Amino acid sequence: MPTVLVTGGAGFIGANFILLARNKQWFNVANLDKLTYASNLENLAQLQNDLNYHFVRGDIGNLELVSYLLEQYQPNAIINFAAESHVDRSILSPQDFIQTNVLGTFQLLEASRFYWEKLSSQRQQKFRFLHVSTDEVYGSLNSKDPAFREETAYAPNSPYAASKAASDHFVRAYYHTYGLPTLTTNCSNNYGPRQFPEKLIPLTILNALDDKPLPIYGDGQNIRDWLYVIDHCEAIYLVLQQGKIGETYNIGGLNEQANLDVVEKICAILDELVPKSDFSYSSLITFVKDRPGHDRRYAIDCSKISRDLGWQPQENFDSGLFKTIQWYLNNSDWVKKVRSQAYENWLKQNYETRNN
Protein backbone atom coordinates (compact mmCIF):
# COMPACT_ATOMS: atom_id res chain seq x y z
CA MET A 1 0.00 0.00 0.00
CA PRO A 2 1.35 3.49 -0.77
CA THR A 3 2.32 5.89 2.01
CA VAL A 4 1.12 9.47 2.34
CA LEU A 5 2.86 12.08 4.46
CA VAL A 6 0.10 14.00 6.23
CA THR A 7 1.07 17.23 8.02
CA GLY A 8 -0.99 18.70 10.85
CA GLY A 9 -2.70 15.35 11.36
CA ALA A 10 -3.16 15.84 15.11
CA GLY A 11 -5.53 18.76 14.52
CA PHE A 12 -9.23 18.73 13.77
CA ILE A 13 -9.50 17.98 10.04
CA GLY A 14 -6.18 16.14 9.73
CA ALA A 15 -7.08 13.70 12.51
CA ASN A 16 -10.51 12.99 11.04
CA PHE A 17 -8.82 12.47 7.69
CA ILE A 18 -6.21 10.04 9.05
CA LEU A 19 -8.83 8.04 10.96
CA LEU A 20 -10.89 7.73 7.79
CA ALA A 21 -7.86 6.89 5.65
CA ARG A 22 -6.74 4.10 7.98
CA ASN A 23 -10.28 2.81 8.49
CA LYS A 24 -10.88 2.60 4.77
CA GLN A 25 -7.32 1.36 4.09
CA TRP A 26 -6.74 4.17 1.60
CA PHE A 27 -2.98 4.22 2.32
CA ASN A 28 -0.36 4.06 5.06
CA VAL A 29 0.15 7.31 6.90
CA ALA A 30 3.12 9.18 8.32
CA ASN A 31 1.82 12.13 10.33
CA LEU A 32 4.11 15.13 10.94
CA ASP A 33 2.69 17.52 13.52
CA LYS A 34 4.30 20.17 15.69
CA LEU A 35 1.70 19.60 18.42
CA THR A 36 0.62 23.19 18.93
CA TYR A 37 -2.17 24.13 21.35
CA ALA A 38 -4.73 23.14 18.67
CA SER A 39 -3.51 19.56 18.37
CA ASN A 40 -4.49 16.56 20.40
CA LEU A 41 -2.87 13.15 20.13
CA GLU A 42 -5.95 11.71 21.86
CA ASN A 43 -7.60 12.24 18.47
CA LEU A 44 -5.52 9.39 17.12
CA ALA A 45 -5.33 7.13 20.17
CA GLN A 46 -7.30 4.40 18.40
CA LEU A 47 -4.40 4.00 15.94
CA GLN A 48 -1.80 3.18 18.60
CA ASN A 49 -1.50 -0.45 17.47
CA ASP A 50 -1.74 0.31 13.78
CA LEU A 51 1.61 -0.64 12.25
CA ASN A 52 0.85 1.36 9.12
CA TYR A 53 0.46 4.64 10.97
CA HIS A 54 3.49 6.60 12.23
CA PHE A 55 3.58 9.81 14.20
CA VAL A 56 6.49 12.25 14.15
CA ARG A 57 6.56 15.42 16.20
CA GLY A 58 8.07 18.26 14.19
CA ASP A 59 7.66 21.44 12.19
CA ILE A 60 6.80 21.62 8.48
CA GLY A 61 9.27 24.51 8.37
CA ASN A 62 12.16 22.21 9.34
CA LEU A 63 13.63 21.43 5.92
CA GLU A 64 16.15 18.91 7.24
CA LEU A 65 13.56 16.95 9.18
CA VAL A 66 11.04 16.92 6.34
CA SER A 67 13.74 15.85 3.85
CA TYR A 68 14.74 13.03 6.19
CA LEU A 69 11.11 11.88 6.55
CA LEU A 70 10.58 11.92 2.80
CA GLU A 71 13.66 9.74 2.34
CA GLN A 72 12.58 7.41 5.11
CA TYR A 73 8.90 6.97 4.18
CA GLN A 74 9.13 7.46 0.40
CA PRO A 75 5.57 8.80 0.23
CA ASN A 76 3.56 8.95 -2.98
CA ALA A 77 1.85 12.09 -1.77
CA ILE A 78 1.97 14.87 0.79
CA ILE A 79 -1.23 16.36 2.17
CA ASN A 80 -0.61 19.64 3.94
CA PHE A 81 -3.14 20.33 6.69
CA ALA A 82 -0.60 21.95 9.05
CA ALA A 83 -1.47 25.56 9.80
CA GLU A 84 -2.36 28.12 12.38
CA SER A 85 -6.08 28.19 11.73
CA HIS A 86 -7.97 30.59 13.98
CA VAL A 87 -8.87 34.07 12.69
CA ASP A 88 -9.16 35.65 16.16
CA ARG A 89 -5.67 34.46 17.10
CA SER A 90 -4.33 35.80 13.81
CA ILE A 91 -5.69 39.21 14.76
CA LEU A 92 -4.02 39.14 18.18
CA SER A 93 -0.70 37.61 17.05
CA PRO A 94 -0.20 37.37 13.28
CA GLN A 95 3.48 36.38 13.54
CA ASP A 96 2.80 32.65 14.09
CA PHE A 97 0.63 32.62 10.97
CA ILE A 98 3.40 33.98 8.78
CA GLN A 99 5.83 31.51 10.34
CA THR A 100 3.81 28.34 9.77
CA ASN A 101 1.36 29.12 6.99
CA VAL A 102 3.74 31.05 4.75
CA LEU A 103 7.32 30.11 5.65
CA GLY A 104 6.42 26.60 6.80
CA THR A 105 4.53 25.81 3.61
CA PHE A 106 7.39 27.26 1.59
CA GLN A 107 9.94 24.97 3.30
CA LEU A 108 7.61 22.00 2.87
CA LEU A 109 7.39 22.80 -0.85
CA GLU A 110 11.17 23.04 -1.05
CA ALA A 111 11.67 19.66 0.62
CA SER A 112 8.98 18.15 -1.63
CA ARG A 113 10.59 19.56 -4.75
CA PHE A 114 14.03 18.19 -3.87
CA TYR A 115 12.52 14.79 -3.10
CA TRP A 116 10.29 14.75 -6.19
CA GLU A 117 13.12 15.72 -8.55
CA LYS A 118 15.06 12.62 -7.51
CA LEU A 119 12.18 10.17 -8.07
CA SER A 120 12.02 7.90 -11.11
CA SER A 121 9.90 9.42 -13.88
CA GLN A 122 7.19 6.86 -13.21
CA ARG A 123 7.00 7.84 -9.53
CA GLN A 124 7.31 11.52 -10.41
CA GLN A 125 4.15 11.27 -12.47
CA LYS A 126 2.22 9.63 -9.67
CA PHE A 127 3.40 12.00 -6.92
CA ARG A 128 1.01 14.64 -5.58
CA PHE A 129 1.37 17.61 -3.23
CA LEU A 130 -2.12 18.44 -1.98
CA HIS A 131 -2.46 21.72 -0.14
CA VAL A 132 -5.53 22.13 2.07
CA SER A 133 -6.73 25.72 2.03
CA THR A 134 -9.76 27.81 2.82
CA ASP A 135 -12.51 29.86 1.19
CA GLU A 136 -11.38 32.82 3.33
CA VAL A 137 -8.71 33.67 0.73
CA TYR A 138 -11.49 35.05 -1.51
CA GLY A 139 -12.53 37.73 0.98
CA SER A 140 -16.08 38.71 1.86
CA LEU A 141 -19.37 38.63 -0.10
CA ASN A 142 -22.43 40.86 0.07
CA SER A 143 -25.79 39.16 0.41
CA LYS A 144 -26.56 39.11 -3.34
CA ASP A 145 -23.05 38.32 -4.64
CA PRO A 146 -22.52 35.01 -6.44
CA ALA A 147 -20.63 32.34 -4.48
CA PHE A 148 -16.83 32.01 -4.73
CA ARG A 149 -15.61 30.12 -7.80
CA GLU A 150 -12.11 28.84 -8.48
CA GLU A 151 -11.58 31.89 -10.73
CA THR A 152 -12.66 34.42 -8.08
CA ALA A 153 -9.82 36.88 -7.39
CA TYR A 154 -8.09 36.48 -4.04
CA ALA A 155 -8.92 39.28 -1.56
CA PRO A 156 -7.93 38.02 1.90
CA ASN A 157 -9.02 40.24 4.78
CA SER A 158 -7.63 38.74 7.99
CA PRO A 159 -3.99 37.91 8.73
CA TYR A 160 -5.07 34.24 8.73
CA ALA A 161 -6.64 34.54 5.27
CA ALA A 162 -3.64 36.52 3.97
CA SER A 163 -1.22 33.86 5.20
CA LYS A 164 -3.25 31.06 3.59
CA ALA A 165 -3.51 33.08 0.36
CA ALA A 166 0.26 33.48 0.33
CA SER A 167 0.74 29.74 0.81
CA ASP A 168 -1.71 29.00 -2.02
CA HIS A 169 0.29 31.30 -4.30
CA PHE A 170 3.51 29.47 -3.47
CA VAL A 171 1.86 26.13 -4.24
CA ARG A 172 0.70 27.50 -7.56
CA ALA A 173 4.18 28.87 -8.30
CA TYR A 174 5.82 25.50 -7.56
CA TYR A 175 3.58 23.86 -10.15
CA HIS A 176 4.15 26.53 -12.78
CA THR A 177 7.87 27.00 -12.18
CA TYR A 178 9.15 23.55 -11.23
CA GLY A 179 6.35 21.29 -12.45
CA LEU A 180 5.74 19.92 -8.94
CA PRO A 181 2.38 18.07 -9.27
CA THR A 182 0.29 20.15 -6.90
CA LEU A 183 -3.40 20.28 -6.06
CA THR A 184 -5.12 22.90 -3.91
CA THR A 185 -8.49 22.67 -2.20
CA ASN A 186 -10.32 25.72 -0.85
CA CYS A 187 -12.96 24.64 1.59
CA SER A 188 -15.65 26.39 3.61
CA ASN A 189 -16.09 26.22 7.42
CA ASN A 190 -15.89 22.68 8.79
CA TYR A 191 -17.64 21.31 11.84
CA GLY A 192 -17.74 17.90 13.47
CA PRO A 193 -16.04 15.79 16.15
CA ARG A 194 -12.60 16.75 17.52
CA GLN A 195 -12.67 20.48 16.69
CA PHE A 196 -10.77 22.61 19.19
CA PRO A 197 -13.30 24.67 21.18
CA GLU A 198 -12.04 28.08 20.10
CA LYS A 199 -14.17 27.87 16.93
CA LEU A 200 -17.84 28.86 16.96
CA ILE A 201 -19.59 25.47 17.06
CA PRO A 202 -17.58 23.59 19.72
CA LEU A 203 -17.18 26.78 21.78
CA THR A 204 -20.96 27.19 21.83
CA ILE A 205 -21.55 23.55 22.79
CA LEU A 206 -19.06 23.57 25.66
CA ASN A 207 -20.03 27.01 26.99
CA ALA A 208 -23.70 26.00 26.95
CA LEU A 209 -22.98 22.82 28.89
CA ASP A 210 -21.21 24.99 31.48
CA ASP A 211 -24.10 27.52 31.59
CA LYS A 212 -21.69 30.17 30.31
CA PRO A 213 -22.58 33.02 27.91
CA LEU A 214 -22.69 32.09 24.21
CA PRO A 215 -20.81 34.96 22.55
CA ILE A 216 -22.11 36.22 19.22
CA TYR A 217 -19.91 38.74 17.44
CA GLY A 218 -21.67 41.86 16.11
CA ASP A 219 -25.27 41.33 15.00
CA GLY A 220 -24.95 37.56 14.45
CA GLN A 221 -25.90 37.92 10.78
CA ASN A 222 -22.49 37.05 9.35
CA ILE A 223 -22.91 34.04 7.10
CA ARG A 224 -20.71 30.97 6.79
CA ASP A 225 -21.14 27.87 4.61
CA TRP A 226 -20.84 24.87 6.95
CA LEU A 227 -19.54 21.48 5.83
CA TYR A 228 -19.37 18.32 7.92
CA VAL A 229 -15.70 17.38 8.34
CA ILE A 230 -16.09 13.85 6.93
CA ASP A 231 -17.51 15.28 3.70
CA HIS A 232 -14.42 17.48 3.48
CA CYS A 233 -12.13 14.47 4.04
CA GLU A 234 -13.89 12.47 1.31
CA ALA A 235 -13.50 15.41 -1.06
CA ILE A 236 -9.77 15.67 -0.34
CA TYR A 237 -9.30 11.97 -1.05
CA LEU A 238 -11.18 12.31 -4.33
CA VAL A 239 -9.09 15.30 -5.39
CA LEU A 240 -5.94 13.39 -4.47
CA GLN A 241 -7.01 10.43 -6.61
CA GLN A 242 -8.60 12.19 -9.56
CA GLY A 243 -7.84 15.91 -9.41
CA LYS A 244 -6.06 17.49 -12.35
CA ILE A 245 -2.57 18.58 -11.37
CA GLY A 246 -1.95 22.31 -11.01
CA GLU A 247 -5.66 22.93 -10.41
CA THR A 248 -7.68 24.15 -7.46
CA TYR A 249 -11.01 22.77 -6.25
CA ASN A 250 -13.56 24.65 -4.18
CA ILE A 251 -15.32 22.51 -1.58
CA GLY A 252 -18.47 23.67 0.21
CA GLY A 253 -21.50 22.47 2.08
CA LEU A 254 -24.22 24.22 0.04
CA ASN A 255 -25.29 25.28 3.50
CA GLU A 256 -25.16 29.00 4.23
CA GLN A 257 -26.16 29.89 7.77
CA ALA A 258 -26.13 33.09 9.81
CA ASN A 259 -24.13 32.68 13.03
CA LEU A 260 -27.14 33.43 15.22
CA ASP A 261 -29.12 30.66 13.50
CA VAL A 262 -26.25 28.20 14.03
CA VAL A 263 -26.10 28.98 17.74
CA GLU A 264 -29.89 28.77 18.08
CA LYS A 265 -29.88 25.36 16.38
CA ILE A 266 -27.23 24.13 18.81
CA CYS A 267 -29.32 25.40 21.73
CA ALA A 268 -32.43 23.64 20.42
CA ILE A 269 -30.57 20.30 20.16
CA LEU A 270 -29.14 20.72 23.66
CA ASP A 271 -32.64 21.54 24.98
CA GLU A 272 -33.65 18.15 23.62
CA LEU A 273 -30.60 16.09 24.66
CA VAL A 274 -29.72 17.65 28.03
CA PRO A 275 -32.77 19.68 29.03
CA LYS A 276 -32.65 22.19 31.88
CA SER A 277 -35.82 22.44 33.92
CA ASP A 278 -35.63 26.19 34.43
CA PHE A 279 -34.27 27.66 31.19
CA SER A 280 -33.49 27.15 27.51
CA TYR A 281 -29.86 27.29 26.43
CA SER A 282 -30.76 30.09 24.03
CA SER A 283 -31.14 32.41 27.02
CA LEU A 284 -27.33 32.25 27.31
CA ILE A 285 -26.86 33.95 23.92
CA THR A 286 -24.91 37.17 24.42
CA PHE A 287 -24.07 39.71 21.73
CA VAL A 288 -20.48 40.93 22.10
CA LYS A 289 -18.16 43.37 20.37
CA ASP A 290 -17.52 42.40 16.75
CA ARG A 291 -14.31 40.91 15.36
CA PRO A 292 -12.26 43.64 13.61
CA GLY A 293 -12.57 43.31 9.82
CA HIS A 294 -15.19 40.56 10.25
CA ASP A 295 -16.02 39.06 6.83
CA ARG A 296 -19.76 39.32 6.25
CA ARG A 297 -20.47 36.31 4.11
CA TYR A 298 -18.71 33.29 2.61
CA ALA A 299 -20.35 31.06 0.01
CA ILE A 300 -18.75 28.39 -2.13
CA ASP A 301 -19.71 27.39 -5.62
CA CYS A 302 -18.60 23.75 -5.66
CA SER A 303 -19.91 22.93 -9.13
CA LYS A 304 -16.40 22.12 -10.43
CA ILE A 305 -15.68 19.28 -8.00
CA SER A 306 -19.24 18.10 -8.37
CA ARG A 307 -19.15 18.10 -12.17
CA ASP A 308 -15.55 16.87 -12.70
CA LEU A 309 -15.14 14.44 -9.79
CA GLY A 310 -18.73 13.60 -8.82
CA TRP A 311 -18.46 14.86 -5.24
CA GLN A 312 -21.47 16.04 -3.22
CA PRO A 313 -21.78 16.70 0.51
CA GLN A 314 -23.59 13.74 2.11
CA GLU A 315 -24.41 15.07 5.58
CA ASN A 316 -27.20 17.56 6.17
CA PHE A 317 -26.69 20.32 8.71
CA ASP A 318 -29.30 19.19 11.25
CA SER A 319 -28.05 15.60 11.41
CA GLY A 320 -24.41 16.71 11.29
CA LEU A 321 -24.91 19.13 14.19
CA PHE A 322 -26.77 16.47 16.16
CA LYS A 323 -23.91 13.97 15.67
CA THR A 324 -21.34 16.62 16.57
CA ILE A 325 -23.11 17.56 19.80
CA GLN A 326 -23.49 13.90 20.73
CA TRP A 327 -19.78 13.41 20.15
CA TYR A 328 -18.90 16.22 22.59
CA LEU A 329 -21.38 14.82 25.13
CA ASN A 330 -19.90 11.32 24.83
CA ASN A 331 -16.26 12.41 25.01
CA SER A 332 -15.97 14.24 28.29
CA ASP A 333 -12.37 13.01 28.79
CA TRP A 334 -11.34 14.62 25.51
CA VAL A 335 -13.09 17.81 26.57
CA LYS A 336 -11.42 17.77 29.99
CA LYS A 337 -7.98 17.45 28.40
CA VAL A 338 -8.38 20.35 25.98
CA ARG A 339 -9.58 22.64 28.75
CA SER A 340 -6.08 23.47 29.89
CA GLN A 341 -4.94 26.60 31.66
CA ALA A 342 -3.74 27.87 28.27
CA TYR A 343 -7.26 27.42 26.91
CA GLU A 344 -8.77 29.33 29.83
CA ASN A 345 -6.20 32.09 29.28
CA TRP A 346 -7.23 32.28 25.62
CA LEU A 347 -10.91 32.65 26.55
CA LYS A 348 -9.99 35.43 28.92
CA GLN A 349 -7.82 37.19 26.36
CA ASN A 350 -10.35 36.96 23.53
CA TYR A 351 -13.63 37.55 25.36
CA GLU A 352 -12.94 39.79 28.37
CA THR A 353 -12.44 42.85 26.21
CA ARG A 354 -15.51 42.10 24.08
CA ASN A 355 -18.17 42.77 26.68
CA ASN A 356 -20.44 45.38 25.16
Please tell me the distance from the alpha carbon of residue 1 to that of residue 30, in angstroms, as a whole number: 13
Please tell me the distance from the alpha carbon of residue 347 to that of residue 343, in angstroms, as a whole number: 6
The candidate with the shortest Cα–Cα distance to 14, out of 197, 232, 314, is 232
298 assigned to active site: no
Residue 81 binding target from ligand NAD, ligand TYD, none, CB below 5 to 8 Å by type = ligand NAD
Q: Does 112 bind ligand NAD (CB under 6 A)?
A: no
CB of 272 to ligand NAD, least distance (A): 26
Nearer to ligand NAD, 157 or 284 (CB): 157
Among 5, 6, 11, 30, binds ligand NAD (CB under 6 A): 11
Please tell me the distance from the alpha carbon of residue 22 to that of residue 38, in angstroms, as a whole number: 22
Q: Pick the catalytic residue: 33, 59, 135, 234?
A: 135
Residue 285 binding target from ligand TYD, ligand NAD, none, CB below 5 to 8 Å by type = none
In order, the DSSP letters of 297-323 are: B--B--HHHHHHH-------HHHHHHH
CB of 197 to ligand NAD, least distance (A): 11
Q: Which residues bind ligand TYD (CB under 6 A)?
A: 87, 189, 199-200, 203, 215-217, 222, 224, 259, 291
Residue 13 binding target from ligand NAD, ligand TYD, none, CB below 5 to 8 Å by type = ligand NAD
Q: Pick the catalytic residue: 138, 160, 174, 249?
A: 160
136 assigned to active site: yes
Only one of the segments 47-55, 79-87, 145-153, 309-317 lies at the binding site for ligand NAD (rule: CB under 6 A); that segment is 79-87
Do 214 and 263 meet the contact criterion of CB atoms below 8 Å apart? yes
Please tell me the distance from the alpha carbon of residue 303 to that of residue 190, in angstroms, as a whole number: 18
CB of 87 to ligand TYD, least distance (A): 4
CB of 338 to ligand TYD, least distance (A): 15
Residues 6+ apart with CB under 8 A from 21: 4, 6, 27, 29, 233, 237
Please tell me the distance from the alpha carbon of residue 295 to that of residue 119, in angstroms, as a whole number: 43
Total residues found in the chain within this entry? 356
Q: Which helix (H) or strand (E) holds 80?
A: strand 77-80
CB of 105 to ligand NAD, least distance (A): 9
Q: Pick the catalytic residue: 59, 136, 168, 231?
A: 136
Q: At what angle do helices 259-273 and 317-330 cross, to 10 degrees?
A: 50
Residue 222 binding target from ligand TYD, ligand NAD, none, CB below 5 to 8 Å by type = ligand TYD
Kindly report the backbone phi and psi dihedral angles of residue 248, in degrees, each rounded to the nearest multiple of 5, phi listed first.
Answer: -115, 150
Among 6, 187, 267, 302, binds ligand NAD (CB under 6 A): 187
Note the Cα 51 to chain centre separation in Å.
26
Q: How many CA atoms, within 13 angstroms, populate the side-chain half-sphere of residue 163?
A: 25
160 assigned to active site: yes
Q: Does 184 bind ligand NAD (CB under 6 A)?
A: no
Q: Return residues touching ligand NAD (CB under 6 A).
A: 7-8, 10-14, 32-36, 38-39, 59-61, 81-85, 100, 104, 132, 134, 164, 187, 189-190, 196
